[in-house]
Structure 1
């Protein structure tokens, strides 16, 4: 059966299971028809726990930046559901392609927080092993990871794997050429790639209305023949349900899937940014009331799945996690200046050898 335009269209309204107070809502008829099912309490409790730990990690990393232990840190506070739920649902064979803002997602995937923060500390280009972890290096140039994820998905399919490639993208990145190239390639070659746009309403300081005139960013998939959806990005239950359905779609050979998650960045773009210059405090306050952690907490407390004892245990676990990050980050990193010349070329050029010799000579002179 051929795919029609209607099949590609996202729901008219973002998919939602929980309202802003954490009360269960009835999904739209469109959402029900597409097979989005409310995740189990067990799954949602696991996601809530990881969001609490991720939020505490994010706060700790922000503090370490102010103390000079990190060169820069882009907070993802407020985008917790988008960071945790899609990554938590990945399988071992799947690949993840993050942006520079996705440190919370990386620790949710089980990566060592010290290895995650290596890039932001300025110690190394990437602190973890991409092949071992099935996780690409954090991508700072906007949207280049979209092309990488499309290619990785193509590779997975050619090897006969049922794995998918998950690609995180910001709203600003949807205006970049690599985003469109990635979607087009993924569609033409029917790759098992899921593109998730975290629409936090600002491309640094540029508001969404000055970026795109599309009804929603999810509609950008239609021109490439990519099935698309939009979801309330602060509703962890909805994010988990939609991403799971997208993974099923991609891994079963039905091709790529584009998700737009409507969310908000509560902190500044990075510690070097003054967000008060381009957005009002009232806007931030309004979105603070849509906290994804509190929303899910209210729901799980209402069902009885989340008790005060569990809350205390998770809070203590989060504090222990943050303390471990803090203690390890307070240790001075071991630096190896000559590593600057490694992994540039398979065989060093004469110019690189000359530069390496100069650095080596300077080091010998200092240590003499």
Structure 2
């Protein structure tokens, strides 16, 4: 028979289990009124870091507004707005180093921009062009993925490869609450935990998987609790609190880099606008519900805090706004230009060496095009 565990063993087991449990309430360092909230576990990031992150936040909000306008003008095919969620995306990009990797979703354009990707290239995919628009290896940013949760498996693969090669690389894998209902999500978490790879799963819980509310997706105490079943820690954070996001994600990234293995962070936030321009959010949620999240706006919260600390003055605010306008102007100019389409691209990137069928098809197309030009 197995001997009963001693007191010390039980205490060690309980300690191991408790470190996996997320906080009862989402971690918050700055409340909606812009006041500091003390937290023993997560220190407040320094002022310079917060000011730099705020700059990215303002630019991200302006990009969201401009992209929505470009959709209405017919210059973009679709745009999944992250208005209200920008703090999550800025923090995801800023919590990692240049050699680390970011795996975004289709809604994470602001994270892609904060990582340094050219805004026009970042929006090329959503314009409807055939390629992703940017080189993933230039900034270590995977292409944005439309299928739910598929990028999580790729993220785990990159983290596993980095571990096998002895690289000091951490991967941040982003997804939404809807993705946690997909099989790929669970496969990714299980593999990451079993092989102890340096990846941080970052779930932006914006309360809806298109029109399906969270209550119809999961009855777990929180999405962060799902991490426990795979043997990794989970944490909850206020997704509209940029400071808390930087602190919580930063700690998870540091832990992964030091060999602590994977973790799951759930950010509680809200999608203020429709799922995409093709969606009518009024069919499944009320104006009163949306209004409850207006005072929690991440931009206003951080602006109030930085202003009170005199880290943000009128001159700096104008400089940041001007930078955001420059990005918006570049987007208008770049996306208003017509794409130059080369029909030969249909055949160039199917195989490394064209098959006889592809060569035949390409020749027929060239012949047809030449007749049209006569």
TM-score by length of 2: 0.94
Q: Could you report, residue by residue, the CA deviation over 1:214-273 in whole angstroms, capped at 9, with x for unpaired residues?
A: 100001111111111010000000000001001101111110010000000111000111
User: Take 1:313 and 1:189, find their aligned partners in 2: how far apart are those partners?
Assistant: 46
| Corresponding residue of 1:269 | 275
Equivalence for 1:49:
55
Say which of 188, 193, 206 aligns to 2:199. Answer: 193
- The CA distance in 2 between the partners of 1:343 and 1:92, in whole Å, is 29
Secondary structure of the corresponding residue to residue 284 of structure 1? helix
RMSD: 1.4
- Equivalents in 1 of 2:108, 2:360: separation in Å? 37
Which residue in the other structure is 1:348 paired with? 354
CA shift, 1:155, in A, is 1.0
**Structure 2 residue matching 1:337: 3-state secondary structure:** coil
5+ long unaligned stretches in structure 1: none
* Residue 132 of structure 1: how far off its partner (Å): 2.1
2:312 matched residue in structure 1: 306
Q: Is residue 252 of structure 1 aligned with residue 258 of structure 2?
A: yes
1:339 to 317, 323, 345: 345
Report the secondary structure of 2:201's partner residue: strand
Secondary structure of 1:58's counterpart equals helix
User: Are the equivalent residues in 2 in contact too, given 1:57–1:321 (CA < 8 A)?
Assistant: yes
Query: Are positions 1:358 and 2:364 aligned together?
Result: yes
- Whether 2:127 is the aligned partner of 1:121: answer yes
Note the C-alpha offset of 1:114: 1.1
Aligned residue in 2 for 1:12: 24
Give the structure 2 partner of residue 26 of structure 1: 38
Aligned twin of 1:180 = 186
Counterpart of 1:130 (choices 118, 123, 136) is 136
Q: Distance in 2 between matches of 1:73 and 1:337?
A: 26
Structure 2 residue matching 1:356: 3-state secondary structure = helix
**Distance apart, 1:307 and its partner CA:** 0.6
Alpha-carbon displacement from aligned partner over 1:19-73 (angstroms, at most 9, x marks no partner):
111111122xxxx2xx421000110000111100111011111100110100111
Question: How far does residue 350 in structure 1 lie from its aligned partner after superposition?
Answer: 4.0
SS of aligned partner of 1:169? strand
For residues 272 and 359 of structure 1, the distance between their equivalents in structure 2, rounded to whole angstroms, comes to: 34
Offset of 1:75 from its aligned partner?
Answer: 0.5
Separation in structure 1 between the aligned mates of residue 358 and residue 208 of structure 2, nearest angstrom: 40
Whether the 8 Å contact between 2:120 and 2:330 is mirrored in structure 1 is no
User: 1:295-323 CA distances to partner (integer Å, 9 max, x unpaired)?
Assistant: 01111111111111111111111111111
1:84 aligns with 2:96: no
- 1:235 and 1:21 map into 2 onto residues whose CA distance is 11
CA drift at 1:204: 0.4
Distance in 1 (CA, whole Å) between partners of 2:191 and 2:84 is 32
Where 1:209 maps in the other structure, the secondary structure is helix
**In structure 1, distance between residues paired with 2:369 and 2:60:** 40
Aligned partners of 1:99, 1:352: CA distance in 2, in Å? 33
Unpaired segments ≥5 residues, structure 2: 1-11
Greater C-alpha radius of gyration:
2
Is residue 123–residue 335 contact of structure 1 (8 Å, CA) maintained in 2? no
Q: Deviations over 1:130-180 (max 9, x none)?
A: 122211111111000110111111111122121101111010000000000
State the match for 2:173 in structure 1.
Answer: 167
What aligned pairs does 1:36-75 form with structure 2 within 5 A after superposition? 36-75=42-81
Matched residues in 2 for 1:256 and 1:350: separation?
47
What is the TM-score of this pair, normalised by structure 1? Answer: 0.95
